[in-house]
Amino acid sequence: MTKIKLTAAIEKVKANGEKAFVPYIMAGDGGLETLSTNILFLQEAGATAIEVGIPFSDPVADGPTIQLSGQRALAKGVNLRLIIKELETFHKEVHVPLVLMTYYNPLLSYGLEKFAEDCERIGISGLIVPDLPVEEMDDLQKALMQTDVAIVPLVSLTSPSERIAKIVSAGEGFIYAVTVNGTTGVRNGFNDQLEQHLAELKELSPLPVLAGFGISTPEQVKSIGALADGVIVGSAIVKAFNDQDLDKIRELIQASKNKVVN
């Protein structure tokens, strides 16, 4: 099946001369009852798509803010099955693509075929699995083959050109360009190689390229977004929801709407 919903949403934003904005939230942080409220708020505020994190006990790619949010969710007994069940209750109200971000163990525990079937039923559009290298993706790709769920690959700053080409060729939905060496979290600055890295990815990839990790201010949304097709913002969104600072979230999203002159 052609995985088009996620890509089409980003391309539509690009056609308007804007940048895609994908906020990340941790499902179950604050209780599962907040999930629908947070997703529908982000949709109304202008998110292009929404990345929904699945809490996991050993989140190797996550920085302190997101680790703590996952621990809060786990402490409330939240898991992938409960999240899928909760999403099912309001998925017809969600009109932007939802992308699940999970590690591989919860998928294996759930069952890949069952997971694929449930994702298709509730309209999930994408999947990010940070600890699943492209060489080991076959089983998951096979399970998702007959669905509209795109497997979004991550490409790091340290990946050599031949590996980047391999990852990009296997990618679906969009290419997730990791902007830092390390875990997620707020950064004051970025590697000097970032501009070249994003330019190489855009040249190689037929899919949109979105930059994520460390982007936390409206200025960074604009400056990093100018180098890519859009941005993904995680820790700053998680913190703002935890602080109940919805204006901060609106400000971050609005920064992607301002047309950037390259």
Q: What CATH number is associated with residue 111? A: 3.20.20.70
| Residue 84 resides in a domain | yes
Classify residue 259: in a domain, yes or no.
Answer: no
Supply the pLDDT for residue 259: 58
Q: Write down the pTM of the prediction.
A: 0.93
Query: Following DSSP, what letter does each residue of 176-189 receive, concatenated?
Result: EEE-SSS-SS--S-
pLDDT for 194: 86
Q: From the CB of residue 17, how many other CB atoms can be counted at a distance below 10 Å?
A: 10
- Look at residue 261 and tell me if it is in a domain: no
Question: Does residue 260 form part of some domain?
Answer: no
Residues acting as catalytic residues:
51, 62
Q: Which residue ranges in the chain fall short of pLDDT 50? A: 182-187, 189, 260-262
Number of compact structural domains in the chain: 1
| pLDDT at residue 193, rounded to an integer | 80
Q: What are phi and psi for residue 70, nearest 5 degrees?
A: -65, -40
Q: Which three-class secondary structure state does DSSP give residue 27?
A: coil
- DSSP string spanning 70-105? HHHHHHTT--HHHHHHHHHHHGGG--S-EEEE--HH
Residue 138 placed within a domain: yes
Q: What is the DSSP letter of 175?
A: E
Report the pLDDT value the prediction gives residue 60, as an integer from 0 to 100.
73
Supply the range of the domain harboring residue 135.
5-252
Distance between CA atoms of residues 70 and 57, nearest Å: 8
Q: Is 114 a member of any domain?
A: yes
Residue 101, Ramachandran bin (φ over 0: left; ψ between -120 and 50: alpha; else beta): beta
Q: For 88-124, what is each residue's pLDDT tens digit?
A: 999 999 999 999 999 999 999 999 999 999 999 999 9
8 A C-beta contact, residue 46 and residue 16: no
- pLDDT for 59: 78
Q: Is residue 258 one of the residues assigned to a domain? A: no
Q: Is residue 257 part of a domain?
A: no
